[in-house]
Structure 1
Amino acid sequence: MIRKLIFTLFTALAFSAGGRERASYFEPEVIRSTMKRVNAYAVEHPWREYDRDWIRATLYTGVMEAYHATEDPAYLKQAEVWAEKHHYSLGHEHSGFNRMFCTMTWLELYLLQPDPKKIENIEAGLQEEKPFKPEIGRIWYGHEPHQNDAGWVYADSLYAAPAFAMLFQATGNRHYLDLLHDAFWNITDKIYDSEDDLYYRDPHYIGKKSAYGEKVLWARGNGWVFAGLARLLKYLPKEDPYYGRYVELYKKMAASLAERQGDDGFWRANLADDWHYRMPESSSTAFFTAGFAWGVRVGILDAATYLPVVIRGWDALNSAVHPDGFMGWIQPVDAAPRPSHPKSTQEYGVGLFLYAGAQVYQLVKEGIITPEVVNAGLPEQSRLLPPAAFTDAFIPANHPAAKQMNAFLAHQSREEIKPLGYKREDYLEVIAGQVKVMHTFQNEEGRIIDPVDHMERYYSTPCYAHSVAALAASGYPVRDEIIESGMKALDVALGDMASDSGMGHSDFYTWPMVLAVELFDGVASEERKTEWRRKLGEIDHTKYHFYRKPVDPLDHRGFYKIYNGHFAINWNLVHTAGEWARTRHGFGDPWYVDYCLTMQLKNFSKYGMYNEGGIRWPMTFLRGIT
């Protein structure tokens, strides 16, 4: 049962709602209301008050996409207020493309309602003699402080490429298109991997490998390019000589990205290695969902092939939105794959969610996404094990026990494993036999006393309560005396936990106690059940032996340090399962559960095995707890 609890915990991170609720994510009014809620939270909780650089500018690209899709004047007003506040000026950054991010909103506002003041500061700023002044044939688009260095070109910059196509639309000056093509394809020549049809974040990552020996192809880095291409193609004239080349690149990336989407709809931080960081990543998922949705809507991408990708992506993104509109699982500011958690967020992720929502909304309104398409595309559940777990060669060559394990496997029968034929009743008989023996060692308080050490050991008492409760709930013929002994064991175990005791193994107490409370529901008195609930609520999760205080959600460097270090052993994972069970009864701290599960992800191998505290010997016993 604990194995089921732990598995359910991890899948719950991506699947927080039932099928009917998830299907509602694709109803027009639900999409609009969710977008408003996410946007409102970001506006009410700004990462800083005054900003027009790339982080906030990315938020506003989503605000404008939301306006174009819904025609809600509130989005337009929000963008206009921000633009007026900053006088339609270039960004403060010294990276050539980065300072163009905010101009995309100014230019979209201009194209909606032309006014010279909306573009004059942009054009004047681009003429200033600075290292990052755009010029054809010269590198001006490196990341500061290396603006003129070919070794510092970077994928993120290409999200601002549409600004030059917009400038052409606003002015008719083809020089802006020449600047666009020169910069875009020079950057692409330096960091595009034609083997995978994806981008390295910058030249420094070419040749680098993940812990599993795979390439490092940053998901968000590719998101900047892919979603940027969709916006670029929207404004680039179809008769432009480079238009077809951009479309070809966009289609190649689409095919590559679709293959890398997780079963749960999310993409992971490293597109070349899902296990580099195993948790979902929302910002790249929003980028890709938006990019795919736009391509399907305008007919560049095949609907039959890519609509399921969009549906899984939007479903996943909704699971990352908290009830108050807070959006989690967003990798913090960085330049490479890093971990994220349910409370890691940033404004650019919100903008990308709005961008994705706007595109999905239009697909629904135009009848391209229908309830039938949604039901066919929604994922049922993420697999516990990846395909690699079902192949013969599943022992990494560098595993310390590889030689012994492969020798063992070589002597095993290749015949299909056949069921033993045991029935439910057979397993109940085993449990009943254990209960019969353990009952003889129960003292008057209800504790199970070890017959050798003559003392209560480990977590025998709560597990005895759980075993009796399982028999009682199953309909197995069990004497009232035994049922009472099980409830008495639960009384004393809950009392120990409520008073911060637990025989030194409190981490292992909670999950069997919660299950026992649930299973005894049909036989216990109301008075007793009320007392059990009271004691469940009094458990202090900070008193567990392997309690780990969550890092501040905004302290992403502290989070990285803890995640990449030694977090905790299996005791923490087991009590986390118990805490999750308590949250189902209105107790416990869901954030603590999410935090610990996120931190424990790195301890699971590709084959679903838990590696104790970073030690590479798999703990098979943890998977066998019942």
Structure 2
Amino acid sequence: MKRSLIMNGVFALMIATISSCSVQKQNTMSKTELPERKEVLDVSRRANQYFMNKWQDTGKEIVGKKVWPSNLWTRAVYYEGLMALYSIDPQKKYYDYAMSWSQNHKWDLMRGTYTRNADHQACGQTYLDLYEIDGRKHPERIKAVKASMDSMIATDKIDDWWWIDALQMSMPIFTKLGRITGEQKYFDKNYEMYAYTKYKHGGNGLYNPIDKIWWRDKSFVPPYKEPNGEDCYWSRGNGWVVAALAKTLQDTPKSDPHYNEYLQDYKDLLSALLPIQREDGFWNVSLHDPTNFGGKEMTGTALFVYGMAYGINNGLIERETYLPVVVKAWNAIVKDSVQPNGFLGWVQGTGKEPKDGQPLSVNKEPDFEDYGLGCLLLAGSEVYKLK
């Protein structure tokens, strides 16, 4: 009897141990298993539909602390994401929504054709996409974008991109135009301006070759420090750089004299992100100081996912190294950020540093809700392509 009880106890312990291991394995798999394409598409569609339902009028001004036209940079980033979604899920309603937005703004840039501000130019990326989607038959769609870039090329000024967000807003326009027109001048000007940001702004440039990460602008170049004594590297700012470099590599010919530098900067930045991913899959808003508003944040994480997944899909980075990181981050976004109705939680509001838009939460609505969705859709479009 005693022996039977002991054996039963041992058997029960074995079952409990096996069950516990099974649960742990399931939890691990949920973080590291590549999702089905249908699941990626469902998540992207759900988040996008929430936004389209809320903003049915594509020309409606955005009212907050002041009034902005709807072709400002935040909305432009959303449409970048929508075009990425359209590339894997070509629904007519996406095309119509982007066309309506572009036509409402007469295919012009925010603040006018001859603006030099990258934020004001960002909407041009979608105009260029729509121009190509329809077989390059409608030159009016890129007239203002091309005139704006040509006006910049016509001057010697190359210091416009004094904050790293600008790289994502404007670099892809130069490289898209270079590819579309076949004219080298767009690639050349793009590099000149990029190099000034990298090597000159803030004294010795906004790129730290030691850490292989970027300071957001000269305000954060040392001696500025985070509370823990580390340099301040803002997650979303570096996410913009990742996206800018991915798009630049997509359109820049490998024969271009600066292609290899872009590629090395891209690979170095991604490698610097590997050891600082959070256990839950996200990255902190302050990449080197998890104590400064540490917590989940979707936008920077989504941009890193986009850049890494793009690199895997195009053979630029090692699949074995980066796929688990991408999958872990994407699954964390799906689990913790994308709500059943499509609302996105854990989105940091507009700003330039970790403290902006804080504190974050799963149900807090940021001051602008569009660019966060753009980041998600960019990420989803590349995760969808993973095999």
Residue 111 of structure 2: which of 79, 82, 92 is its match?
Answer: 92
Q: Which entry has the higher C-alpha Rg, 1 or 2?
A: 1
In 1, are the aligned partners of 2:232 and 2:288 still within 8 Å (CA)?
yes
Could you tell me which runs of 5 or more consecutive residues in structure 1 were left unpaired when the two chains were aligned.
1-16, 143-152, 369-626
User: Deviation at 1:229?
Assistant: 0.8
State the match for 2:7 in structure 1: none
- Over 3 Å counting, the alpha-carbon distance change for 1:104 and 1:212 in structure 2 is same
SS in 1 for 2:288: coil
Aligned residue identity for 1:333: T
Residue 362 (1) aligns with residue 372 (2): no
Aligned residue identity for 1:292: M
Q: Percent sequence identity over matched residues? A: 31
User: Deviation at 1:139?
Assistant: 3.5
State the match for 2:344 in structure 1: 327
- Over 3 Å counting, the alpha-carbon distance change for 1:25 and 1:245 in structure 2 is closer
State the match for 1:305 in structure 2: 321
- Over 3 Å counting, the alpha-carbon distance change for 1:320 and 1:98 in structure 2 is same
Aligned residue identity for 2:128: L
Residue 350 (1) aligns with residue 377 (2): no
Aligned residue identity for 1:88: W
Residue 206 of structure 2: which of 184, 188, 191 is its match?
Answer: 191
After TM superposition, list the pairs within 5 Å mapping 1:98-247 onto structure 2: 98-113=119-134, 114=136, 115-126=138-149, 133-135=152-154, 137-142=156-161, 153-159=162-168, 160-189=170-199, 190-207=205-222, 208-247=224-263
- Over 3 Å counting, the alpha-carbon distance change for 1:203 and 1:23 in structure 2 is closer
State the match for 1:12 in structure 2: none
User: Deviation at 1:235?
Assistant: 1.1
State the match for 1:591 in structure 2: none
Provide Cα deviations, 1:341-360, integer angstroms capped at 9, x if missing partner.
22244210100100101100
In 1, are the aligned partners of 2:286 and 2:294 still within 8 Å (CA)?
no
- Over 3 Å counting, the alpha-carbon distance change for 1:200 and 1:177 in structure 2 is same
In 2, are the aligned partners of 1:70 and 1:358 still within 8 Å (CA)?
no
SS in 2 for 1:362: coil
**TM, length-normalised to structure 1:** 0.51
State the match for 1:341 in structure 2: 361
User: Deviation at 1:136?
Assistant: 5.4
User: Deviation at 1:112?
Assistant: 2.1
Partners of 2:29 and 2:265 lie apart in 1 by 37
Partners of 2:293 and 2:270 lie apart in 1 by 22
User: Deviation at 1:76?
Assistant: 2.4
Number of equivalences: 334
Residue 261 of structure 1: which of 252, 273, 277 is its match?
Answer: 277
Residue 76 (1) aligns with residue 87 (2): no
Partners of 1:210 and 1:196 lie apart in 2 by 15
Partners of 2:173 and 2:156 lie apart in 1 by 19
In 2, are the aligned partners of 1:66 and 1:358 still within 8 Å (CA)?
yes
User: Deviation at 1:44?
Assistant: 2.7
Partners of 1:185 and 1:121 lie apart in 2 by 25
In 1, are the aligned partners of 2:116 and 2:148 still within 8 Å (CA)?
no
Partners of 1:44 and 1:19 lie apart in 2 by 35
Partners of 2:62 and 2:180 lie apart in 1 by 31
SS in 2 for 1:175: helix
User: Deviation at 1:23?
Assistant: 7.7
In 2, are the aligned partners of 1:158 and 1:228 still within 8 Å (CA)?
yes
Partners of 1:257 and 1:23 lie apart in 2 by 17
Partners of 1:43 and 1:127 lie apart in 2 by 34
Partners of 1:254 and 1:222 lie apart in 2 by 10
The one of the two structures with greater contact order (alpha-carbon pairs below 8 A, sep at least 6) is 2
Partners of 1:310 and 1:137 lie apart in 2 by 40
In 1, are the aligned partners of 2:158 and 2:192 still within 8 Å (CA)?
no
Provide Cα deviations, 1:198-246, integer angstroms capped at 9, x if missing partner.
1100011011111111110111110000111111111111211111111
SS in 2 for 1:221: helix
Aligned residue identity for 1:99: H
Partners of 2:38 and 2:93 lie apart in 1 by 16
State the match for 1:39 in structure 2: 48
In 1, are the aligned partners of 2:46 and 2:341 still within 8 Å (CA)?
yes
Partners of 1:301 and 1:127 lie apart in 2 by 34
Partners of 1:270 and 1:355 lie apart in 2 by 22
In 2, are the aligned partners of 1:136 and 1:182 still within 8 Å (CA)?
no
State the match for 1:614 in structure 2: none
- Over 3 Å counting, the alpha-carbon distance change for 1:299 and 1:288 in structure 2 is same
SS in 2 for 1:178: helix
User: Deviation at 1:289?
Assistant: 0.4
Stretch moving more, 223-232 or 46-55: 46-55
In 2, are the aligned partners of 1:110 and 1:170 still within 8 Å (CA)?
no
Aligned residue identity for 1:362: K
After TM superposition, list the pairs within 5 Å mapping 1:433-448 onto structure 2: none
Stretch moving more, 77-86 or 263-272: 77-86
Aligned residue identity for 1:111: E
Residue 35 of structure 2: which of 26, 37, 43 is its match?
Answer: 26
Provide Cα deviations, 1:371-398, integer angstroms capped at 9, x if missing partner.
xxxxxxxxxxxxxxxxxxxxxxxxxxxx
State the match for 1:413 in structure 2: none
Partners of 1:91 and 1:241 lie apart in 2 by 32
After TM superposition, list the pairs within 5 Å mapping 1:581-592 onto structure 2: none
SS in 1 for 2:102: helix
Aligned residue identity for 2:81: G
Residue 295 (1) aligns with residue 308 (2): no
After TM superposition, list the pairs within 5 Å mapping 1:463-478 onto structure 2: none
Provide Cα deviations, 1:539-581, integer angstroms capped at 9, x if missing partner.
xxxxxxxxxxxxxxxxxxxxxxxxxxxxxxxxxxxxxxxxxxx
- Over 3 Å counting, the alpha-carbon distance change for 1:23 and 1:263 in structure 2 is closer
User: Deviation at 1:257?
Assistant: 1.1
In 2, are the aligned partners of 1:218 and 1:336 still within 8 Å (CA)?
yes
Partners of 1:80 and 1:24 lie apart in 2 by 37
Partners of 2:349 and 2:286 lie apart in 1 by 14
User: Deviation at 1:25?
Assistant: 7.7
SS in 1 for 2:232: coil
